[in-house]
Amino acid sequence: MIFDYETLRIIWWGFLGFFLISFAITGGFDLGAGILLPFIAENDDEKRVVINIAGATWLGNQAWLILVIGTLFAAWPMVYAVLFSGFYLLLLLALFGLCIRALSFSYRSQLSDQKWRNNWDKALFVGSILPTFIFGVVFGNLLKGIPFQLENDLSIVYLGSFWSLFSPFALLVGLLSVSMLAMHGAVYLQIKTEGAIQKKLKKKLPVLVFMTLGLFALAGHVITFLEGYHFISEAASNDLSTPLTKFIKREPGLWLDNYGHLPTLMAIPATTFVSGFITITLSRINRPGSAFIFSAIAIATIIFTVACSLFPFIIPSSVSVNSSLTLWDASASQNTLNMLFWVTAFFLPLITIYSNWTFRVLRGKITVKHIQKNNYTAY
């Protein structure tokens, strides 16, 4: 083996973060387009423009979400088990949203009846905003801690309820997720449209950016008072995954501990604010392609800020702190991680190349005149 166990764990933590960020950036703009649909499209032609833009790539973008779930299942099995048992109903709602979203793309234009289309437009909006909000709520609960404990045989006991997942802080992060992807969707739609739709997007983008940055700053302020987690015992980063052999303490403000030990990490959240302001500036001077890059950077740094705060914790426990799952004690075996690494090293470049090729082929604009002239019936 080229890598030791500790290095493989860090690599797979990085892969998980990369897949999350890739989904937020690629799947995020079509989710954002669905969220913005009722606010920027005033008639059926304009709605079809937005829907055709989002519908062209939405299915391929879901591949990154599948990679996130697959990574949790294969590389972090205990994390997968806790997450999908504790958040079962919540994630089921997100899946429901993604399903009705898929149906909206497929069935909206099958009939010309306006009532039929309006109902599917509403379904598309719900199918876009619901999973986006839920993904944010999940991250909010990770920072708060999940009420579970591990028995001596490592069986999982979840002690929370469905409604307890909707704490004020979790709702705040959920709203941040919605505004973040709506911002990203607005930038992407500017690239793909022109005329009236593009003008409306340029007016709304600063509001979405300031909303995202404001919610991000507010969440950061709340975290200073939120109870964080820290190792008391020495982290066994190169040993077998035995999550009950460590000792953890929990105190308010400990999620900022990593930033205190390594102040240069503050550049990550700072980059979010800089990227947001640059996004607005580039949009105003009609450079939406460059604005999209900085919008993507803002999304990546928001997610990376959360990751740096949690590190090395992946799922902290709010009822049994020593049951918390970390980077060092919740992974699959070294052989499994090594085998998965080589499989990923082969297939990930192919997926990335294919995604880039798809976006290059579909890089043209879609306008109302284009819709009317070609009489699109797909969406």
Asked whether 212 and 169 are in contact (CB, 8 A), the reply is no
Residue 197: what pLDDT?
A: 86
For residue 44, tell me if it sits in a domain. yes
Residue 188: what pLDDT?
A: 93
Query: Does the structure show a pLDDT above 70 at 97?
Result: yes
Domain range enclosing 19: 5-374
For residue 379, tell me if it sits in a domain. no
Rounded CA-CA distance 116/111 in Å is: 7
153-179 pLDDT, tens per residue?
888 899 988 999 999 999 999 999 999
Higher pLDDT, 351 or 140: 140
CATH number at residue 145: 1.20.1630.10
Q: Which of 40-49, 93-102, 304-313 has the lowest mean pLDDT?
A: 40-49
Residue 1: what pLDDT?
A: 61
Average pLDDT score over the chain = 90
Q: What angle do CA 197, 203, 209 make, to 5 degrees?
A: 115
Four-residue CA torsion sign, 183, 366, 291, 23 = positive
Higher pLDDT, 245 or 219: 219
Give the pLDDT band of residue 313 (cuts 50, 70, 90). Answer: very high
For residue 145, tell me if it sits in a domain. yes
Domain count, the chain: 1
Query: Does the structure show a pLDDT above 90 at 296?
Result: yes
Residue 106: what pLDDT?
A: 87
Please list, residue by residue across 331-345, b when 16 or more beta carbons sit within 10 angstroms of its beta carbon and e when fewer do.
bbebeebbebbeebe
From residue 163, give the alpha-carbon distance in Å to each of 81, 87, 160, 167: 20, 11, 9, 8
Please list, residue by residue across 86-113, b when 16 or more beta carbons sit within 10 angstroms of its beta carbon and e when fewer do.
bbeebbebbeebbebbbebbeebbeeee
Rounded CA-CA distance 223/216 in Å is: 11
Query: Does the structure show a pLDDT above 70 at 287?
Result: yes
Query: Does the structure show a pLDDT above 90 at 362?
Result: no
For residue 167, tell me if it sits in a domain. yes
Query: Does the structure show a pLDDT above 90 at 339?
Result: yes
Percent with pLDDT over 90 in the chain: 66
Q: What is the pTM of this model?
A: 0.92
Q: What is the mean pLDDT of residues 44-60?
A: 84
Query: Does the structure show a pLDDT above 80 at 376?
Result: no
Residue 109: what pLDDT?
A: 82
From residue 232, give the alpha-carbon distance in Å to each of 249, 256, 263, 322: 6, 16, 21, 10
